[in-house]
Structure 1
Amino acid sequence: MNKALNRWRLGLRIARRDALRAKGRSALVVAMIALPILGVAGADLAVRSSQLSTDEWLSREIGTADARYEVYEAGVPILQHPTDPSDMWSSSWDDEEPGQANRDPGEDGEEEPAGRFRFEDVLPEGATVQEERSGYADIATEHGILWTDIQETDPTAELTRGKYTLLDGDWPTGPGEVAATTQFLTDTGAKVGSEVELAEIDHKVTITGSYELPGSLRSTSLLAPSDSLLPLLDRGEDPSNVRYLVAVDGGVSWDAVQAANELGVQVTSRAVHLDPPADADVPLFQHPDYFRWDSGIDSQAAALIGVAVALVVLEICLLAGPAFAVGARRSRRQLGLIGSNGGDRAQLRAVMLSSGIVLGAVAAVIGIVLGVIGVVLAKPFLENIGGSRFGSWDFRWLEILGIAAFAVFIGTLAALIPAINASRSSVLESLTGAKGVRRGSRALPIAGTVALILGVAVALVGGLSMGSAGMVGVGAVIAELGLVALTPLLVGGFGKLARFLPLSGRLALRDAARNRGRTAPAVAAVLAAAAGAVAVATMTAGIQAQERAEYVPNLPDGTVALTMWNGSESQLDPLRSAAEKTLPVTDRADLSTAQPTAAFCTGGSAANLDWDPDACYLEILTPPENVCPLWEEGSEALSEQETRDLRQDERCRFNRSAGWGMSEAGPVAVGGPEILKVLGLDRPEYRQALEDGKVLVFDRTDIDSEGRVTLAQYENWEQEEPAGTVVLPAEHLDGDGYGLYALMTPQAAEEAGLGTTFAGTYYATSDRPTSQDEQAFRGELDDLVLGSTTSWTIERGYTGDYSLSLLILAIAAMVIALGAAGIATGLAQADSEADLATLAAVGAAPRIRRTLSGLQCGLIAFMGVLLGAVSGLIPALGLLMADHRDRLDWWEREVAEGWDVGPRPELHLALPWETLGQLVVLVPLIALVFAAVLTRSRVTLARRAG
């Protein structure tokens, strides 16, 4: 025991002296270990500090109150979670016990309207109460109109303390005064002291101060004194927009919460949050239809986290290992003296491993300290990103000690292989400085090839066949380890290209190939960094491609829809004028809804009476020969294979558009051929069909064998059999109807005896309207008197944009890759000073040193990112395939059960070419330039031993 203790005491003392003697090399190792420790320690402090305690969360939600009362569904009993207000169950969801039945009927026998709900029947007796009301308003800005929230309360009241934070100015005290959130000021360009106009009522208010909501920093809202603003807007009377902060002696118990739940009121109680009831006392948990989500860690997520940690450790060891190897070569004479004086192999290993322990401990201290300082300095930035203020600083010392131990472990692991090699060195070679014969391992390339093939197979099979993210992660790690093992062989292969390069390039490549023990780990470290970035970028590109392919537009891209109901067409004129004045509109098309003949519409039309049950309506009848067998009686007897086959039958597929942009025109729209231009379907054969009086039908199965479509006429919605039918010639239109099932001209409708009701106007645009165009349009509408039955929408197309995320990812990968290449170059210079001195002695120009360093760094970066790009595709493709497998399994299960779940899911793969270009081109170029610029061109010549 004493012998082992003395061995490690001596090793630690030597390691400390060596670290101080070789400050540059030690700093490189410390930097590489400290960098991830800095990130982990900072992330731990940031995450823990952002996780609010119960008291902190309650302070933001209910201030200093004992409880907050708010209506979910007035008069309808609910069941709520004790500590999660969003998790609840309403009795109105139960078919066997409709919630409406729990309301008291009014004098006329109808249900009690929600407006008669009284909070006085719910609030505890003798309680101190602070009311909060919410609403919204349109605010005039320099661009047009901004929609914003309105809050009315007294922010200086004792019960609201902690909910609102005043940043500048004063709280509003009377009518005409408001406070604004910082996000509102940013969006509008207003300042404290500015006046803003409520566009709806031409009323101006003065901003007296700016404030923030600690839990919602991005909130765009105004705060006004109670009953000063919402009454002017005719809002705030709905009980669901009112909340009460309550203070009562003894707090609000769980029994009191349940009593409020009986009246449809949710309660956030301080006493219940601090001392939750047992599960057996929570009725929500006993409800047969309630599903309690498991809060445990998903096994696949845990596997992926483990894979990520393994890759981080691998990368650090790959970078720090060569530095320890160089240190071991520099200390060969010292190790030889220890061996010549009786030191055994265990003593030599202890000396080298002690270097890892010492440098790991230093990196732990520096990383943790810098991580804490970084989080403290970056706190406002992190809070703005997260949209919420931190709670109190939360230092978890056990976790911090674990992070420190992790740093020491990484340092020791990185020094392990150099320690083993040093202990095996001959004492004579160590004392004389002879390098001996270096032979490359023949087993390593074979093992690497096997691991690469095996890893790719595991990742792809695990993803596509098993849908297992864990299997994909394991396969990706195996494949990357295989590439790492192959890296020395690949570096040697790159070295054979040296004869095609000029002098500096030839020297750089040959030096890299000759010193593979130093070059290969650096290339592998760059590989790991690039592989991670490429994997995430490829995943992101694949997800974006899937979202774009699955996006269902409601209208053709850029189309402007102006629709109405229960009114006359002239009410749409103001909207048309505003659109034509402010938006880049081109072709215009007016659409109406086809209605049954007057004889069937004694109760009015469905379009005019907002789906009144007594209204008449039209429906397209499917011909008997085209009816899907799955919808007929006896379909439950079909086998699973028969069900699958029928799902591929055109009769059983949903052949109509899922978009609803033109649904206001009903199933059978009436309009001229100009609508074909708006739809992008303006073909001569379709125009001719309309002119011939035919109905253009979007679903082929609606047309019978004789080329006709049958329109059923119903007198009301309760009628099961049609009161009459209209049979018209039809032609299939191959395109997207965006909510339309059929289209006919006004002349054809008149000849068939059908009525029409105006539905809306649609405009095609030369370009998709911008945000400024839309704000100008809103601003124009603010000066108009519009009917309550009109509405408008603009199809903006797929708007998912991951470019910023990909750019940040690429930059992070660049920094890591450049750092790895720079460290490798620094080690190369430290390891080859004698060779550089020889070059200078034989007359090499000073710029040769700069060029050589630049090319060494650039070549390492190029080899690393090129291999990393290949390596990163493996986990990305595997995870995309796993996700596709999950979606496909779900689709197949639903189809087998007879559900119409749409088309078969497709696998969407896409390569992030921009990210790949940034890594493969920019990283080596930047590495080359920086290394050349930062390298000294002159070498101090000294006598070379030997």
Structure 2
Amino acid sequence: MKTWFHSWRAAVRIARRDAWRFKGRSFLVLAMIALPILGVSAADLTLRSAELSAQEQADRRLGTADARVSDPRYGGVAVDQSPDGEIDQPVGDYEDKPYPEGRTDVTKVFPAGATVLTDTRGHGKLRTKYGLLHTEIRELKASDPMAGGIMTLLDGRFPEKNDEVAATSHFLETSGLSVGSTLSARGLEREYRIVGSYELPDDLKTDQVNALPGAFLAPLGKALEAAGLPGTDASTTHLLKLKGAGAEGFTWNMVKAANAKGAVVVSRAVLLDPPARSEVPLYQREGWSGYTNSEGVERAALIATATVVGLAMLEICLLAGPAFAVGARRSRRQLGLVGANGGDRRHIRSIVLAGGLVIGFAAAVAGTVLGLVLTFALQPWLEETMGQRFGAFDVRPLELLGIGALAVLTGLLAAIVPAVTASRETVLASLTGRRGVRRSNRVLPVIGLVATLLGGAIALYGSVLSDQFLIVAGGSALAELGIVAMTPMLVGLFGRTGRWLPLSPRLALRDAVRNRGRTAPAVAAVLAAVAGTVAVATYGVSRDAQSRAEYVAQLPHGAASVMITAEGGRDVPAVRETVQKYLPVDVRADVDRIAVGRTSCDLWEDGKGCGRYEVVVPKANECPLWARTTDGSDPRERFSKEQLRKLSTDWRCKADDRYFISEGGLVIGDANVLKVLGIDDPGAEKALASGTFVSFSRAQVDKDGKVSVRLITDLKAADLAMEKGADPPGAVKSFPAYRAPDGTEAYGVKGILPPAAAKAAGLTTVPLGSFYATDRMPSSEQRQKLDFELAAVGTDLTFHLEEGYLSENGIVLLALTVFAGLITVGAAGIATGLAQADAEADLKTLAAVGAPPRVRRTLSGFQCGVVACMGVLLGSAAGVLPAIGLRLTERRQAERMHQEALDGGFGGFDGLPHIPIVIPWETLGALLIAVPLGAALLAALLTRSRGAVARRAAT
């Protein structure tokens, strides 16, 4: 044991001295290993610091209170809840009866003597420096000790009077206001003064203002109700502090007792000490999944993580291995002296492996320390980016040690092959500097060939006969590993092309073939990076072509629309003028909608006095697959599979892929709508001019050529009638209609009702929005100004500018190409630098026989270009095949799903799938031509024409 320890200590000392002697090579390998360690350690620190403990979660949710009680609005029905209170469901089966709803009195679950603090939240539109901002309004006495920890005061103080508020820092930044400014809400005359700034540790990006209980939401709600506008939608929870210092807190049994009375409780005691899963009634319900990651998902995530880590280690070993090999060759004399003084092969292996151990340990220390420093320095930025404060700077030594051990392991793995190779050299060869002749390994290429053929067969089976992605991916990965194993043999085959090349590239190619120990790993590293890039690029371009074919334009190219369904279109006139101001508008078409009941209702609001309308589809035009049934059953059950397939192609069952914001696609407008939509139909223009309804939907026009609109005022009666398969009650207005020719592209608009016809029928209308035709696409500056102005309006609106299909793959493909290029240039540069260090004697021989100085630069460039070219060629071929296999698999899956949809009567929603396979020629061209050429030129420019004068070798 003592001998083993001393021999390894000596090996480590020799390796440490050698690493310090050749600082450039050592720093290169150290950086390659340390950079991933830096990233992983920083990610570990960030995730662990952002992960809150149970105590920290309780403080942020409850302050110093013992519990928070809330009303789930099930009308007092008993509930089951999760221990953290995030999930709750009413007890009982409500499949055949109405789902419970309504408020309940949660004060009946308060323990005797408990101190109560109310926390009410609502929403309102607050006036800012730029306009209106939809903001959360919170009424909580934040200065109360019980609320400590829920909000963090940054500046000023919390409100103490009814006319004071505090605001989150994000709200102040967004609104342009500051501490000391006055604040008011839309619909409320009263003004409030901002006296403080705070943040919510769990949500730093929330726009929220804080007021005393009853000071803001109640007056605002009354003002909005008086104006006929939607309310604040306020909800109240209660913070409880139990009586008695020795109280155990709100126990799980107390939580279940509160659940029986219809209340949901978040308890500090339960958060800190959750009950067993068997004690939670919610988890015992039939079919309960727990909304947690299944074991299969966690296993898949673990496999994916292990795969990524394994590939990263393989890439590092491929790039670092040749550096250790060259280092061992440059230390041949030193290793030979070890053998001459009694050292055996085991000692020589230990010295080379100690080099990997030393650099791996240094990389582990450097990467971990830099990760700690970087994470600590970037903590404020990370918190802002993630939108929440860290609980604590959580350093877990065991995890960091494990990450550091990964670096040491990588260094050792990279040094294994050079260590074995160095130990096989004889002492005489090491001392004299003779390389000798060694036969290449014939077993590894055979194994690689078998793996390539087997992987290709598996991938072919997965893409042609199976629908499983994993089979194709696994087969492709096996085939790629086989190609990596065959790389030394393939490098030798490339060498046979040297006879047709000029002097410098021929020398570079022969040098690469002769020194496959450093060439093959570099080529394999380039191969792996390029194969992944080409596979992703091929798949991404193919998916992009599919998305382009499936893209459905919402408007003609360059046209725009803005629609507002809230508050009865109150803000529509202002928004119309704003868009007109910033867009190069050629034609503007204003459209209205039908209002049933109060004109201030939102389009889909079910509030008091609000109704809705629907465009009646004649019975003869209804799709049998969608018809209402009196017993509530699925109408598809009445048809056979053959009938379902036939009905799926019926014109009545063709679904519109577009969504239009107005009910039934009906708008009230004039002929300008036709102009903006690009519809050239003189008949439609004439019909609108004469006050006739224009329909673009064949299904909406009855046999008499009319379109009917039903006005529904009693929403509950309408819903009850529809559940029974009957038509909802309501007055029906019929209009003579002009039906546009079939196939007319109306971009989701199914009918245009002239304003005169709507007025004659006694319909009440409110503004909906406008369509705009532009004479050119707006500039980026115009868009930014428009977006800013629309955001300042402070109302919910839908704005769309039709720019056509915009591919996001361009940036992704560019990033992938740059990534692969950097890996290629880096690997080729490493191989070139090692070649220069390894072939210094050959370069001196060339100079001695009269070669000009530029040969050194030219040879260096071609050495780099040869490695890059071989890796890119092999990687491109290896990367295209798995992408094609995955696309073929997707095509089979899509076709199978389409046939199942036809059999189920859903064929009207989508047609035959289009799954193209597209080769990314631009990416391949950049990789095959630009990257090797750039690598060669870069290496040539960075190489000195003349080498340094060398000392005479010691004998």
Q: TM-score range by the shorter chain?
A: 0.7 to 0.9
Deviation of the 1:731 alpha carbon: 4.7
Cα distance 1:190–1:476, how it changes in 2: closer, same or farther (>3 A)?
A: farther
Which residue pairs with 1:393 in the alignment?
Answer: 393
Distance 1:408 1:387 in 2: 35
Instruction: Give yes or no for the alignment of 1:832 onto 2:842.
Output: no
Distance 1:538 1:241 in 2: 51
CA-to-aligned-CA distance 1:575-607 (integer Å, 9 cap, x gap): 655554555544344557799xxxxx9999x99
Instruction: Give yes or no for the alignment of 1:820 onto 2:813.
Output: no
Kept after mapping to 1: 8 A contact 2:582/2:785: no
Kept after mapping to 1: 8 A contact 2:653/2:908: no
Distance 2:160 2:623 in 1: 70
Deviation of the 1:181 alpha carbon: 3.5
> Any idea what SS the aligned residue of 2:617 has?
strand
Which residue pairs with 1:128 in the alignment?
Answer: 115
Cα distance 1:538–1:219, how it changes in 2: closer, same or farther (>3 A)?
A: farther
Which residue pairs with 2:284 in the alignment?
Answer: 286
From 248, 255, 258, the equivalent of 1:257 is 255
Kept after mapping to 2: 8 A contact 1:63/1:160: yes
Which residue pairs with 1:363 in the alignment?
Answer: 363
Identify the range of structure 1 (220-229 vs 59-68) with the bigger mean alpha-carbon deviation. Answer: 220-229
Cα distance 1:603–1:413, how it changes in 2: closer, same or farther (>3 A)?
A: closer
Kept after mapping to 1: 8 A contact 2:576/2:770: no
Kept after mapping to 2: 8 A contact 1:659/1:738: no
Identify the range of structure 1 (462-471 vs 427-436) with the bigger mean alpha-carbon deviation. Answer: 462-471
Identify the range of structure 1 (221-230 vs 308-317) with the bigger mean alpha-carbon deviation. Answer: 221-230
Deviation of the 1:318 alpha carbon: 0.4
Deviation of the 1:659 alpha carbon: 0.5
From 755, 760, 783, the equivalent of 1:770 is 783
Q: Which runs of 5+ in 1 are unaligned?
A: 104-113, 596-600, 783-789
Distance 2:849 2:597 in 1: 109
> Any idea what SS the aligned residue of 1:474 has?
helix
Cα distance 1:488–1:639, how it changes in 2: closer, same or farther (>3 A)?
A: farther
Identify the range of structure 1 (620-629 vs 309-318) with the bigger mean alpha-carbon deviation. Answer: 620-629
Distance 2:414 2:603 in 1: 78
CA-to-aligned-CA distance 1:437-487 (integer Å, 9 cap, x gap): 366666766665664565455446546764444334423422332343454
From 242, 251, 263, the equivalent of 2:236 is 242
Which residue pairs with 1:41 in the alignment?
Answer: 41
> Any idea what SS the aligned residue of 1:395 has?
coil
Distance 1:171 1:565 in 2: 33
Cα distance 1:85–1:603, how it changes in 2: closer, same or farther (>3 A)?
A: closer
Which residue pairs with 2:798 in the alignment?
Answer: 793
Letter of the 1:389 counterpart: R
Which residue pairs with 1:939 in the alignment?
Answer: 947
Distance 1:646 1:405 in 2: 64
Kept after mapping to 1: 8 A contact 2:645/2:905: no
Cα distance 1:607–1:938, how it changes in 2: closer, same or farther (>3 A)?
A: closer
Letter of the 1:136 counterpart: H
Distance 1:602 1:152 in 2: 33
Cα distance 1:301–1:350, how it changes in 2: closer, same or farther (>3 A)?
A: same
> Any idea what SS the aligned residue of 1:234 has?
helix
Deviation of the 1:266 alpha carbon: 2.9
Which residue pairs with 1:215 in the alignment?
Answer: 202
Instruction: Give yes or no for the alignment of 1:303 onto 2:303.
Output: yes
Deviation of the 1:546 alpha carbon: 6.3
Letter of the 1:132 counterpart: D
Letter of the 2:742 counterpart: L
Kept after mapping to 2: 8 A contact 1:562/1:576: no
Instruction: Give yes or no for the alignment of 1:155 onto 2:142.
Output: yes
Distance 2:219 2:814 in 1: 47
Which residue pairs with 2:227 in the alignment?
Answer: none
Identify the range of structure 1 (20-29 vs 47-56) with the bigger mean alpha-carbon deviation. Answer: 20-29
From 602, 612, 620, the equivalent of 2:617 is 620
Identify the range of structure 1 (874-883 vs 370-379) with the bigger mean alpha-carbon deviation. Answer: 874-883
Distance 1:317 1:416 in 2: 10
CA-to-aligned-CA distance 1:689-743 (integer Å, 9 cap, x gap): 8789997654556779xx9756568797556599999897745431455554445
Kept after mapping to 1: 8 A contact 2:151/2:198: yes
Kept after mapping to 2: 8 A contact 1:45/1:375: yes
Which residue pairs with 1:787 in the alignment?
Answer: none
> Any idea what SS the aligned residue of 2:359 has?
helix
Distance 1:121 1:803 in 2: 61
Deviation of the 1:41 alpha carbon: 2.5
> Any idea what SS the aligned residue of 1:415 has?
helix
Cα distance 1:386–1:575, how it changes in 2: closer, same or farther (>3 A)?
A: closer
Cα distance 1:491–1:174, how it changes in 2: closer, same or farther (>3 A)?
A: farther
Kept after mapping to 2: 8 A contact 1:139/1:197: yes
Please list, as runs of the form range in 1=range in 2, the aligned pairs for 1:686-697 lying within 5 A after superposition. Answer: none
Letter of the 1:266 counterpart: V
Kept after mapping to 1: 8 A contact 2:688/2:754: yes
Letter of the 1:147 counterpart: H
Kept after mapping to 1: 8 A contact 2:217/2:234: no
> Any idea what SS the aligned residue of 1:64 has?
coil
Distance 1:191 1:864 in 2: 59
Distance 1:629 1:202 in 2: 50
Distance 2:604 2:346 in 1: 92
Instruction: Give yes or no for the alignment of 1:181 onto 2:158.
Output: no
Letter of the 1:770 counterpart: R
Which residue pairs with 2:715 in the alignment?
Answer: none
CA-to-aligned-CA distance 1:355-384 (integer Å, 9 cap, x gap): 333433333333333322332223233323
Q: TM-score, normalised by structure 1?
A: 0.80
Which residue pairs with 2:70 in the alignment?
Answer: 70
RMSD after superposition: 5.0
Deviation of the 1:621 alpha carbon: 1.9
Please list, as runs of the form range in 1=range in 2, the aligned pairs for 1:441-520 lying within 5 A after superposition. Answer: 448=448, 451-452=451-452, 454-455=454-455, 458-459=458-459, 461-462=461-462, 466-488=466-488, 511-520=511-520
Which residue pairs with 1:733 in the alignment?
Answer: 742
Deviation of the 1:290 alpha carbon: 3.6
Cα distance 1:353–1:570, how it changes in 2: closer, same or farther (>3 A)?
A: closer
Kept after mapping to 1: 8 A contact 2:618/2:699: no
CA-to-aligned-CA distance 1:539-570 (integer Å, 9 cap, x gap): 66666666676676766675324567998x99
Q: Which runs of 5+ in 2 are unaligned?
A: 225-230, 713-717
Q: TM-score, normalised by structure 2?
A: 0.79
Please list, as runs of the form range in 1=range in 2, the aligned pairs for 1:198-597 lying within 5 A after superposition. Answer: 198=185, 201=188, 207-231=194-218, 233-234=220-221, 240-249=234-243, 250=247, 251-262=249-260, 264-288=262-286, 290-293=288-291, 295=293, 296-298=295-297, 299-339=299-339, 344-437=344-437, 448=448, 451-452=451-452, 454-455=454-455, 458-459=458-459, 461-462=461-462, 466-488=466-488, 511-533=511-533, 558-562=559-563, 576-577=576-577, 579-581=579-581, 583-589=583-589
Letter of the 2:55 counterpart: D
CA-to-aligned-CA distance 1:179-202 (integer Å, 9 cap, x gap): 443433443455555666656657
Identify the range of structure 1 (390-399 vs 570-579) with the bigger mean alpha-carbon deviation. Answer: 570-579
CA-to-aligned-CA distance 1:385-408 (integer Å, 9 cap, x gap): 322222223333333333333333
Cα distance 1:807–1:188, how it changes in 2: closer, same or farther (>3 A)?
A: farther
* Aligned positions, number: 911
Kept after mapping to 2: 8 A contact 1:487/1:524: yes
Distance 1:359 1:791 in 2: 59
Letter of the 2:47 counterpart: V
